[in-house]
Structure 1
Amino acid sequence: MSLPKIDEVRNLSEEELDEQIVATKRLLFDLRFQKGTRRLEKSHQFKHTRHRLAQLMTIERERQLQKASSH
């Protein structure tokens, strides 16, 4: 499984972006919980999920800065 591409994130609307951020944070919480209870089977999911969250938050920040500079 390859890492997610940032181009997929750039095409999301504001609402979809917010939903994806919340869902990814929830998934990361669930993965941490599984790790704590020793039920985590695919440890590489941490890397992919953190990478995805970083992409989502980067695009969110880019849009915030773009709005601020256009005002």
Structure 2
Amino acid sequence: MNKMKVNEIRNLSTAEMNEKVAGLKEELFNLRFQLATGQLENPMRIHEVKKTIARIKTVQREEELKAAKKA
């Protein structure tokens, strides 16, 4: 999976975002396991996955704050 842009993330529904985060966390776990066992080919992938998780969580938080402001 390539780096997701913020515009792509904003077009996802909340359920899709949660699903993406869960999948990325699982991928991150596997990457860390590969790193520990010396099988990881691209160590920068860990960095990319962590940043993508952070981007999704940021967009989720923005939507929460926007909804709270309307209420």
Contiguous gaps of at least 5 residues in structure 1? none
Equivalent residues of 1:31, 1:40 under 8 A apart: yes
Match of 2:32 in 1: 32
Q: Which SS does the other structure have where 2:40 is aligned?
A: coil
Q: Give the Cα separation in 2 of the matches to 1:7 and 1:25.
A: 21
Q: Give the Cα separation in 2 of the matches to 1:9 and 1:45.
A: 19
Q: TM-score, normalised by structure 1?
A: 0.90
Q: TM-score, normalised by structure 2?
A: 0.90
Instruction: Report the count of equivalent residues.
Output: 70
Contiguous gaps of at least 5 residues in structure 2? none
Match of 2:22 in 1: 22
Q: Give the Cα separation in 2 of the matches to 1:20 and 1:46.
A: 15
* Cα RMSD after superposing both structures: 1.3
Equivalent residues of 1:4, 1:48 under 8 A apart: no
Q: Give the Cα separation in 1 of the matches to 2:3 and 2:56.
A: 13
The 5 Å alignment of 1:55-66 reads 55-66=55-66
Match of 1:5 in 2: 5
Q: CA deviation at 1:3?
A: 3.9
The structure-2 alpha-carbon separation of the partners of 1:48 and 1:34, relative to structure 1 and needing over 3 Å to count, comes to: same
Match of 2:46 in 1: 46
